Structure 1
Amino acid sequence: MHGPLMSEMTWPEVDAAARAGAVALWSVGATEQHGPHLPLSVDHLIPLELSLRIARRLHVVIPPPQAFGNRSRPLSGGGPSFPGTTSLRAGTLVQVVRDVVGQLAAGGFRSIAVLNWHGENVNLLHEGIELAREAGDLERPDGGGPVRVMLIERVFNAFSEAEMAFLFEDAREGFPGWPAEHAAIMETSLMLALRPDLVRRELIADDRAAVRPFYDLTPTPPEHVAASGVLAEASRASVAKGERLAALIVDRLTAAISEALDPPAAP
């Protein structure tokens, strides 16, 4: 049987995997600028690569990632002013989530896990799942009861500050907060570990907005957005940090999916 990428499987193979109890592990991200050194695909590529590592341990089928997310915000992603950043309205994303999880359930999956990697998607994914449930789209077609849907909106909620301290121990300003970590130490380290071929190492830079308020202002003043799109110290990233972080995330997600959805081991 081919797998775990659904896009490379035939329908009988997907059907067999669903009947065997495989979890549909779907990533939702964004197409958003990540500075001059990282591609626009970071927010859907990182969870896809992590999902492939989870697939070495658990029987999962990985549907094509959702590549467009809710609109980028200036203080956490740079906003829409950077060429290439392409976003969906909130209502559109909610309906996409509703349709996809409903169709995965209709296709026979008894368990679905949704893995988010874009802060602006938070709450919208939950709304889409709830709309699918309210519409009756999350009932098993064999009459076996409701399909279980697990939502991981903020993967770093699974970790304590102490567990993540290694990422920022050599940063001049310490931990800047997750919104300011956009295209910085964490994401650059993960990309160096997971997809080093896509990192423009010679363009890695440290940057930050001249002014970083605790509020959003519309229209956004130019001084609220870093010119490069990097919001902190990307130069402190490393392959070692990325591999350590990826291993921690995969361990934690594998344990959580096993506990909540009880999938079989990887075939």
Structure 2
Amino acid sequence: MYLADQTWPELGDYVASESLAVVPLGSTEQHGPHLPLATDHLIAESLARAATDRTGHLCTPTVNVGVSPHHRQFHGTMWVDAPQFRDYVESMTRNLAYHGVDRVVFVNAHGGNVQHLREVGRRLRDDGTMYAIEWMWDESIPDLVSELFDHPGPHGGPKETAMIMHIARDLVRDDRLEDARDGGTVDLTGDHLREYGARTYYDAIENAENGVFGDQTDATPDAGAELFEAATDQLVRLLEWLDAQPIDDLLAPAHVDPQPGERR
């Protein structure tokens, strides 16, 4: 159920019996010469809508701009600073709590958002407002990603390319796949741009001249369909699990005895 398509009485019927919502989040940032800047938020929204269509749960509008300053050197990249992103997402999610939602899944498709969504989830849980967790599609199906691609790449690689081939085929520039591979970094090793254990880089351009990683020529629409269905299955299972949990089991445990301020 997509929130923005409903009327307020219809949403009243929903929260009278349900208390779970899905919030898709991505970014608007460079994804090399072959993929649109919309890549991350297209993936997040498509997965969120597919999973909630199957479960009947509520899906909110997508947060399209995320924490992406590490891609700022490339034309068109948009970002918000981390504190403002956290505050915005927290405020929006508290709106849902006001309407009766007590558990949320952040369906996230941008790595730069992860730690900040975790922080928002902690804030909401620690003050007893709700239970909110971050879910990243490719982390839910690592074995399949490894099976399909020798060089999946952490950004703009064949896994994201295949997903967009499945979701929005006309937005993939097929004639630039080799350029993406040859102008980027195929293998990003663990010690890449590290000195004596310190990570010495901040921005994507320092690791790949065109901003992307992996071998994009391995991507196919069929692989994208397989990734999409597998990730959707995982998200559906997560929603069903979360919906079944008693809220008291999800919120922060109490302080060990004796309780703070309790007289012995």
Q: Is TM > 0.5 for Structure 1 vs Structure 2?
A: yes
Which one has a larger percent helix, Structure 1 or Structure 2? 2
- Matches for 1:106-185 after TM superposition, within 5 Å: 106-135=98-127, 138=129, 147-152=130-135, 154-161=136-143, 163-168=144-149, 174-175=150-151, 180-185=153-158
Deviations 1:209-266 (A, max 9, x none): 4994242336x696x2433333221111001110111111011111111112239xxx
Report whether the alignment pairs 1:71 with 2:68: yes
**Range 183-192 or range 6-15, more displaced:** 6-15
> 2:25 is matched with which residue?
28
Q: Which runs of 4+ in 1 moved over 6 A?
A: none
Distance 1:227 1:92 in 2: 29
Alignment equivalent of 2:238, drawn from 242, 247, 256: 256
The DSSP-based 3-state class of the residue aligned with 1:92 is: helix
Distance 1:227 1:159 in 2: 28
TM-superposed deviation, 1:122: 1.6
CA contact under 8 A between 2:193 and 2:207: conserved in structure 1? Answer: no
Distance 1:252 1:262 in 2: 16
CA contact under 8 A between 1:101 and 1:129: conserved in structure 2? Answer: no
Distance 2:42 2:117 in 1: 18
The DSSP-based 3-state class of the residue aligned with 1:57 is: helix
Distance 1:22 1:200 in 2: 41
Give the letter for the 2:44 counterpart.
Answer: P
Return closer, same or farther for 1:230/1:160 CA change in 2, 3 Å cut-off: closer
The DSSP-based 3-state class of the residue aligned with 1:181 is: coil
Provide the identity percentage: 25
Unpaired runs of at least 5, structure 1: 74-78, 139-146, 169-173
TM-superposed deviation, 1:159: 3.3
Give the letter for the 1:183 counterpart.
Answer: G
Number of residues of Structure 1 aligned to a counterpart in Structure 2: 234
Report whether the alignment pairs 1:217 with 2:201: yes
Distance 1:80 1:165 in 2: 29
Give the TM-score normalised by structure 1. Answer: 0.79
Distance 2:200 2:17 in 1: 48
Report whether the alignment pairs 1:229 with 2:221: no
TM-superposed deviation, 1:7: 1.9
TM-superposed deviation, 1:160: 4.5
CA contact under 8 A between 2:204 and 2:211: conserved in structure 1? Answer: no
Distance 1:160 1:33 in 2: 24
Unpaired runs of at least 5, structure 2: 246-264
> 2:256 is matched with which residue?
none
TM-superposed deviation, 1:29: 1.2
Distance 1:225 1:90 in 2: 22
TM-superposed deviation, 1:18: 2.1
Give the letter for the 2:177 counterpart.
Answer: I
Distance 2:50 2:81 in 1: 31
Return closer, same or farther for 1:27/1:202 CA change in 2, 3 Å cut-off: same
The DSSP-based 3-state class of the residue aligned with 1:26 is: strand
